[in-house]
Structures are given as C-alpha cells and as structure tokens.
Amino acid sequence: MRSGKSTYGLAMLMAAAMLAGCAAGGGGAGNQAGGGTEASGAARAGDEAKASGGDQPGGEEASGGSGRESSRGSETAPYLWDVHTTQELMAADYLMYRVNCGAAEDTGGETGLYQTADDQPYGADAGTGKQWGYRPADYMEAVEDDTGEDLTRYRWEIAEGAEYDPEQTGFYYDFEVPGGTYEVTLGFYNPFSARTVTAVAEDQTVMEDQKILKYKLTENAFYTTVTDGSLQLKVYNPDRGKDAMKDPVLSYILVRAVPEYTADLLKQLLEQTEIPENVIPDRQTMRYTAGSYEAFSEQYQAAEALAQKEDAPEEEYRKQYMALKDAYDGLEEIKVYDSFLPGKKWTDDEGNLIQAHGGQVQRLTVTDPATGQTSEKWWWVGEDKTNGSSRSGICAYSSDDLYNWHYEGIVMRNVESRAQLDEEEYFTSLYADYTPEQKDNVFTCLDAGSAIIERPKLIYNEKTGMYVLWFHADGPTETSDSSYAAASAGVAVCDTPYGPFQFIDRYRLNTCPPDQEDKYPESRGMARDMNLFVDADGTAYIIYSSEENLTLYISKLNDEYTYLAVPPEQAVYGRDYIRLFPGAQREAPALFVRDGGYYLMTSGCTGWAPNQARYYRADSVLGEWENCGDPCVGDDNHTTFESQSTCIFQVGDDYIYMGDRWNSEDLKNSRYIWLPIEFDEAGNMSISYTDEWKLP
C-alpha cells in the first residue's frame, strides 16, 4: 500500500530532528549513532545475538534482505524482526519508545510503538502491555518548564536537599524490547548552570561526562544491543560529589530500532512514500512550496536510482534513506488562511512572504491577461522590499477573500541601468515613444540603485479607462546626495492593473501660499508619504506630507488623474489644494469616506519607528478638518499597535485599518497589521487590537 504523507510524517520529523540534534549535541563517549560510518559500523537490530552493549561491528546478516525475518541465536528473547514486519517498523519510523520524562499527564505528544503513556513508573503499559518505565525514587522530582516545548517541557530533576549517592542516585529506566540493536537518544534541556551527565545502557557506559549547558538542548545518541528482552538505562552524574549544582536532569528518551540499510529497504521506503500531488484540489493552488517540492522530487528520483543498485555500500543506502525521509518531512505546506493574523508572517498562495508594504487594497474588476476572464477581485499594491529599501519595484497581489493572496508580479519595475531602457524588451516597448532625455529621466526616477519608491497607490479612471499609479518618488538630486532629497510624487499609467505601468514623471506639488506661514521655505512643493482618494463625483485627490513632513497637503488631480488639476503656479488655495495642520508633522495619510463624512488617519514622523496615530474628520475633502485624536483603544505604548497607517478600505459595511509594522533592520520582514475599525453612533472611530479576527 502506498501510505501517503500522513502515515509517517510525524515520525519522520522526529527522525530528522534527532539526527540533526545528534550532530549538534555530539561530545559524548561511547558508541554514538547517527554519524557517518560510525552509525553504519554499529550493530543493528536483527544481527546475530551478541553480548549486550558496547561497540560492536556490524555482524553477518542473520537472513537475507532488509526484512530480517529470521533471528537465530537468541536464547532469551525473540528478535525484533521475528516479532514485527519491516513495514510495521517502517511505518512507526522504528520508534519503539518516545518518553517525555517527568510528564505526569498525557501531553498528547507522539508515542512509540510499545507505549501509550508519555512516561510511567515501571510496569505494564496500559495500551500495549509492554513493561517499561522509570524506577521511582524519593529524590526524583518531575518539573514542568514553561520555556520548553513538547519534549523539553518536562524533565526529571533531583529534589532539593535529597541525599545523593554518586553511584546510586540517578534516573533508571527499563524498556521491554525484542532482541536487537537500538539507537537510544537522550535529550537534556537544562535550566541550571552547566554540568555533566553520564549514561549506562545494558551495563556499559555509553555516554560519559556529556556537558549540558544552561537552557541549551543537548542530545546524545548511542547504539546498544539487547538480548534479554529488556533495555536497561541509567542516567546520572558520578562527579556530582557534594555539589548540588551538578545534579543531573533528564528531559526525554527515544528508543529506536536500527534497520539494515539495503537496496531492498530503500525500495520499501519508496513504496511507502506516496508522491503527493502539489495542488489543493478545491482551490487549484499549490499545496507545497516549489522549493521543498523540488527537493523532495529530487531525493525521490535519487532514491529510485540507488534502489536499482544491489551492491552499494550500506552507508550510501542509509544516507539516501535519510535524505528521502528528510525531504519528505521537509515538504512545506503552504498556509491557507481563514482569518487575519496581525503581525504574523503572511505568505501568498505559493508560500512566499507577501511583499506589498506601504500598500493599498481595493476591489477591482480585472481581466486576467492570461485567461481573458473578467472578475471582481481584491487588489493589493505595495512596495516589494525583497532587496531592502524599495529597489525591486511595485508589486500587486489579488485575492477573492482578503485572507489568501496570489502574486500578480511586479507591475512597475525599477531600472537597473540606463542601457537597460534601450536594450530590454520590457522597457523598449514600454518607452518606445520616449525621447532619450525622457528615458534619462525614467532612469533617474526609477534607478534600482538609488531611487526611493514608496507607498504606491492605484486608482482607476472611469473616463479614460486607465489605471493610474502614484507613489512617493524620492532619491538624490543634482544638488543633494540625500536619498530623500527629491521629495516628489511619481506617476505611472497602464490600461490594466497587471501592468507593466509606464512611468510618466515625478513632480514637486503645490506650495504654501504667500499669506500663510511656510514651515519649510527652503524647499518648496515637497511630496513624501502619500495617498489617493476618489470622491463620489469622480474628482481625485492626492494627500501627502510636504514642507519637510511638517504639513500635510491635499491637492486636486486633473481629469486624467495624472497630474495636479492646475499647475502649482496657478493653483488657488482652498479650491485646488489645502494645507493641513502646519507644523504638526503628520505622515502616512489614509483618507476614506463613510456615511458622507470624511476621515483622515495619520501617523507622526519618526522614520521606521511606530508612533501615536491621530485622525481627523471633515465634511468635504477640501473642507475644515477637525482633530479627533488617537483612535487606538488599549494601545498603551501609543504606537498604533506598533504600526503605521497606509490605507483604510471598505468591505461591505465594514472598514479595515491597514498598517505596516516596519522592521528597519530587515525591511522585507516588516509585518502587516490589519484591524477592524469600529464606529460609534456619532461616527467616532476606534481601533482595538486582536491577534486574530475574521470578516463578519
């Protein structure tokens, strides 16, 4: 039977973690498992019966094939391969016991083939009848540790003040197992100062003076051979002396049968390993990330090729066996969302982190250029910060439900070099009509090496049928090296939201009228953080920080939405533009309308660091805006729940706050904070934090 992923997924995970841990833990004395030739040289379950424990060479096979059907030679206990089929053991990933030491109650964790409890005093297992467990002693104290997870959450310690006999005091376990060789892994999650532990299995010291560091997980694995039906284990510290700071601890024990790695065993693994289809049937999206699926397919093919060879060294079979299991276990499922998880990693339907920072979401009717199908979709544009600040361009994502997003690509690409504009088809067709001087300007404004492209916002123009993309276009100028010297608003157009958008130009915008106090007369018409708003009558506005971010402006756009309604020199204050809150230093504007009332959400100006939000209300876009204070409720640090506004959009009767939690050290790993907005009867808005929420 082909088993499919679920059959041994968890067991595989354990195996992978264990082997990785062995490599990292290392250091112990004795016959260590899991590493290269040492592992293959050790005796295995099914080998001829030998005296217990110790370093044993891999004996002659007791029987042909990996099934190890015959034991022969056991005087005291049946052999593992007589008791179980290879399939049975393989399905359990050879795990006989997985003891979560000190776990008093059932933790719901995985258990081995022979056990049903996480831990127990020595006796018959309630589910399997196998005799196993620890030898109870007064000095043993079971401790639960909040800092640990799963197997490191519980451990045995030595009770404070207990009398300690260096030879006798320790943790003793017995495990009923058929004859054979077992790989035993001990896990130590030590909350105390560094100390050492020693282990004896089947009367042989298999681990000596293993150093266990404070709050570091240390694992040590070794092989031991059992002939009498019971694997005996003792973990202690003979060097403890009178110093209680040297008491041993023990977090977990894994007992795993060791198979012989052969072509036959590899074939059986292949048979059990279903190649899962990389599609979620009802969604028609990928189930696993492309990278992990490719890695798995590669290992599967390599295993198929090796399984055809009958005479490869056992180590080669072992490595390939492990590689296939690891690759299977490493198949990374793409998360399908059914809620918003503010501040958590948000991946698209291919498993990649969504790159749409400083963005905007809206409902659009779009025609997919690939299929020609027209449908309504949620459309998210934002900054791709894969390469840091904003070197990659402007991205778009689409969605049917606002939770799960599909990458639609870079809709406006940045330019790597001036030559690229004359050489690469993408740019030559996009800028075919541009003069060399215009292309020079495109390069200056979209130069991937120096231009700053932030806070893109997209609007559809009903009259022209064009999509118009505005953004904060910045970068050095002829007179300044500063990366935020240009302080302009850039604009690009396309007849589809899929792009490619054709960059038109970047502009300085309106200026402070002579009868008002310009907060930054040194540089006029600046435009940085920006947003767009289209009113019910089709008039579009650009809202932006000006006067060195000291004053917000709202300026009317022309009928095409591609420039100001009136050039700055002819603009009439109050008709074509307004200045808001001079000197108040607001940025990150998000303007929306609700029940005929206009709202403007803003942040303060503290670079990438979050600060306190403030919102304003007005009866019209160019009207009187009233300061309504901070809408965040319970935001004790006054940081807008560690975010900065970028857009507020409507879903049915509801409104969603969209903010960025910037990670200035690693901008591509900035997170999104989307929260529901509440309104009281008077229309006052409030935002409360929640870790997870769904649309009503």
Residues interacting with ligand DGJ, by CB under 6 A?
358, 454-455, 529, 587-588, 607-608, 644
Provide the minimum distance between the beta carbon of 549 and ligand DGJ in the complex, in angstroms, as a whole number: 8
Task: Pick the closest to residue 454 from 402, 397, 381, 520 (CA basis).
Answer: 381
Residues β-bridged to residue 205: 200
For residue 469, the minimal CB distance to ligand DGJ (Å) is 16
Q: How far apart are the C-alpha atoms of 66 and 259, rounded to whole Å?
A: 7
Measured from the CB atom, is 232 or 639 closer to ligand DGJ?
A: 639
DSSP 562: S
Nearer to ligand DGJ, 319 or 357 (CB): 357
Q: Is 107 helix (H, G, I), strand (E, B) or coil?
A: coil
Distance (Å, whole) CA 404 – CA 351: 10
CB-wise, 382 or 499, nearer to ligand DGJ? 382
CA distance 397 to 384: 11
Beta carbon nearer to ligand DGJ, 225 or 531 = 531
- The residue number whose beta carbon is nearest to ligand DGJ equals 607
Minimal distance, residue 552 CB to ligand DGJ, in Å: 12
Give which of 418, 443, 445, 422 is closest to 432, Cα–Cα: 422
**Residue 319 corresponds to which amino acid?**
K
Q: How far is the CB of 587 from ligand DGJ (least distance, A)?
A: 5
**Which residue's CB is nearer to ligand DGJ, number 219 or number 529?**
529
90 vs 588, beta carbon nearer ligand DGJ: 588
Of 609, 613, 611, the C-alpha closest to 601 is 613
Reduce the DSSP state of residue 544 to 3 states and report it.
strand
Q: In the complex with ligand DGJ, which residue's Cβ is closer, 348 or 529?
A: 529
Q: How far, in Å, CA of 376 to CA of 379, rounded?
A: 9
Q: How far is the CB of 505 from ligand DGJ (least distance, A)?
A: 20
Q: Smaller CB distance to ligand DGJ: residue 529 or 576?
A: 529
* Cα(461)–Cα(531) distance, integer angstroms: 16
Closest distance between ligand DGJ and the C-beta of residue 542, in Å?
15
Q: Which is nearer to ligand DGJ, 220 or 355 (CB)?
A: 355
Residue 470 Cβ vs ligand DGJ, minimum distance, rounded to whole Å: 14
Q: State the minimum distance, in angstroms, from the CB of residue 417 to ligand DGJ.
A: 25
What are residue 494's DSSP bridge partners? 467
Strand-strand pairing, 406-413 and 252-257: unpaired
What does the alpha-carbon distance between residue 328 and residue 270 come to, in Å, rounded to a whole number?
Answer: 11
Nearer of residues 607 and 652 to ligand DGJ, judged by Cβ: 607
Task: From 684, 572, 576, 588, select the one nearest 622 (Cα to Cα).
Answer: 576
Which run of H or of E encompasses 398? strand 393-399
Tell me how far, at minimum, the Cβ of 546 lies from ligand DGJ, in Å.
14
Which residue's CB is nearer to ligand DGJ, number 443 or number 471? Answer: 471
Contacts for 86 with CB less than 8 Å, ≥ 6 apart: 66, 67, 68, 259, 265, 268
Burial 417-446 (b: 16+ CB within 10 A, else e): eeebbeeeeebeebbeebeeeebebbbbbb
Q: State the nearest-atom distance from the C-beta of 544 to ligand DGJ, in Å.
A: 11
Q: Shortest gap between Cβ of 336 and ligand DGJ (angstroms)?
A: 31
- Residue placing its CB nearer to ligand DGJ in the complex, 180 or 456: 456
* Euclidean distance between CA atoms 179 and 112, whole angstroms: 17
SS3 track for 210-228 = EEECCCCEEEEEEEEEECC
Distance of closest approach, residue 2 Cβ to ligand DGJ, in angstroms: 52
The structure tokens 């870790």 sit at: 691
For residues 101 and 588, which CB has a smaller minimum distance to ligand DGJ in the complex? 588
What is the closest distance, in whole angstroms, from the C-beta atom of residue 680 to ligand DGJ in the complex?
29
Tokens, residue 658:
């969209």
CA distance 268 to 68: 13
Shortest distance (Å) from residue 518 CB to ligand DGJ: 22
d(CA 685, CA 593): 12
CB of 678 to ligand DGJ, least distance (A): 25
245 CB-contact burial (10 Å; exposed 0-12 / middle 13-18 / buried 19+): exposed
Cβ within 8 Å of residue 660, ≥6 positions away: 357, 358, 643, 644, 646, 670, 671, 672, 673
Closer by beta carbon to ligand DGJ, 269 or else 453: 453
Q: Which is nearer to ligand DGJ, 314 or 660 (CB)?
A: 660
Question: In the structure encoding, which two tokens stand for residue 62, read together?
Answer: 């007791």
Q: Pick the closer one to ligand DGJ by CB: 452 or 618.
A: 452
Q: How far apart are CA 646 and CA 76, in angstroms?
A: 74
As measured in angstroms, the least distance from the Cβ of 529 to ligand DGJ is: 5
Q: Least distance from C-beta 623 to ligand DGJ, angstroms?
A: 25
Q: Where are the beta strands (DSSP E) in 160-248?
A: 171-176, 180-189, 195-201, 204-212, 217-226, 230-236
Q: At what angle do helices 314-329 and 263-272 cross, to 10 degrees?
A: 10
**Of 71 and 640, CB closest to ligand DGJ:** 640
Closest CA to 24 of 199, 200, 249, 212: 212
